[in-house]
Amino acid sequence: MSAGKLSIVATPIGNLEDVTMRALRTLRECDCVLAEDTRRTQQLLARYEIRTPLKSFHAHSDARVVEARVAELREGRWYALVSDAGTPVVSDPGADLIAACLEAGVEIEALPGPSAVTAALVLSGLRSDGFRFVGFLPRSGKRRREALEAIAKDRL
């Protein structure tokens, strides 16, 4: 059987109409959607009458789950990886799966789409020729303060 493919699919970040035609086609045609939260992803699929099966894939998916998905991809399956909102892996789960797919020689493609980082930058009024994305900060306490201090000291 031919090798499979993993499509990294960006999803809307607030408005379900902010999805690309390519993303919808991929979600409709792939064998299965790997979703951070199947309930949330089901809302998107239902909105566009997509009936592709869903499997859960989230931050707590362990190495056995990653190995199983990679084995299925190597057998010829086509999976789409989505997060709750935005692009998987960017402050979301999926890096371990992608690393394992790269190691196994599985084809990977990225489908760009809505970006909270870009939207925030555009609306900030700041110059956009240089910026730094640091992801989610610790919620509170000493670790949060230390992270903010490190960012403040950074001179791009």
pTM of the model: 0.86
pLDDT tens sequence across 13-66: 989 999 999 999 999 999 999 999 999 999 999 999 999 999 999 988 999 999
How far apart CA 33 and CA 94 sit, in angstroms, is 13
Stated length of the chain: 156
Same domain, 101 and 146: no
Q: In which domain, by residue range, is 93 found?
A: 5-116
Asked if 135 contacts 86 with a C-beta cutoff of 8 angstroms, the reply is no
- Report if residue 94 sits inside a domain: yes
Same domain, 98 and 35: yes
